[in-house]
Homo-oligomer: A and B are copies of this chain.
């Protein structure tokens, strides 16, 4: 298996990307890499070129570039060339730590949607805490689409189910719909419609509505949401956790000597917590519903996180997570078309 890597994306690119790929190369002997970037910058960073091919990309898409325009205009950028290599079959998956919008646009416009899928969804794995039975959960869409229709959320549920089963090891994952109450009649009209569809879908282990208050307690294995709400909740989880940790640190620093002593003793505990809350540890965000794995990791990711994300891609490829979805939508194309027509009435 060969992975197309955008060497130029991310806050610490290309240095940390190259370092991460070297760790992954040493860790996964069966994986090969095409490293897309400006060779004069990338090559000096590479210690050992074994199973790593450098591919020259003259241009770089910056974090602040307008995504779709950047994809259309910067034809020689590392993101565009890497995505084209996946589309053309030279590589099996796409990885970047760069401009999220540009990565999504490259996935959609260059690699392309799986037949039968209306809107691919972006998914993130988040930690479950204080629950001995569950370690993590999956949420989608967390921002690929700001405007989603009920039919899109139904398809996110299927995409999430396959990912949770094949990559995360969940057996018949519990699908929950993020809503503002657990009762079936909660939410706006769109979410009430989604609740009905998911409730009658025979292939899904739908457990009903879940509230955002309960997500980190493991309310569901796969949390289905529209991209607008999902993005807000994801960023809120991150922001709140960081604020609480910072508040604790500041309170200790302003505190008494005993507080400071206590803090020193608690250092390993805090480290452990930050580690638990760091969802980049659980891998990158995956654009599900496109023809090959497209994975984006945090812009601030360093070498170790990048290597872990490569492990996640390897697992997607080994477990044929995309092929499973292609087969499902192929086998259910008539049903899916009928359902879509029915929902547009």
Contacts and interface: CB of A to CB of B under 8 A. Distances in A.
Interface stretch (A78-86, A91-99, A229-237): A229-237
Interface of A: 129-130, 143, 146-147, 178, 180, 186-189, 191, 211-217, 227-229, 231-233, 235-241, 243-248, 250-252, 255, 258-259, 261-266, 268-270, 272-273, 276-277
A187 B247 contact: no
Given A259-B266, A262-B262, 18 more contacts: A129-B243, A130-B243, A147-B188, A180-B227, A187-B228, A214-B239, A229-B229, A236-B240, A244-B244, A244-B273, A248-B270, A248-B273, A251-B272, A255-B268, A259-B265, A259-B269, A262-B269, A265-B265
A200 B228 CA distance: 24
Which 5 residue pairs of A and B lie closest in terms of their CB atoms, listed nearest first? A262-B265, A213-B239, A212-B236, A262-B262, A213-B235
B235 A211 contact: yes
A182 to B, nearest CB: 11
Nearest to A267: B262
B240 A216 contact: yes
B258 A265 contact: yes
Nearest to A211: B235
10 contacts: A129-B244, A129-B246, A237-B240, A244-B244, A248-B269, A248-B270, A248-B273, A251-B272, A261-B262, A262-B265
Contact of A236 (B129, B213, B247, B252): B213
A333 to B, nearest CB: 28
Contacts of A252: 266, 269
Interface centre among A146, A189, A240, A246 (most CB of B within 10 A): A240
Given A147-B189, A232-B180, A262-B265, A130 B239 contact: no
A232 B235 contact: no
Contacts of A143: 180
A187 B146 contact: yes
Contact of A130 (B129, B233, B246): B246
B261 A228 contact: no
Contacts of A258: 265
A187 B191 CA distance: 18
Nearest to A249: B130
A273 B232 CA distance: 24
A245 B243 contact: no
Contacts of A270: 248
Nearest to A212: B236
A270 to B, nearest CB: 8
A88 B186 CA distance: 32
A189 B39 CA distance: 41
Contacts of A255: 266, 268-269
A100 to B, nearest CB: 10
A217 B276 CA distance: 22
A298 to B, nearest CB: 13
B228 A191 contact: yes
A54 to B, nearest CB: 34
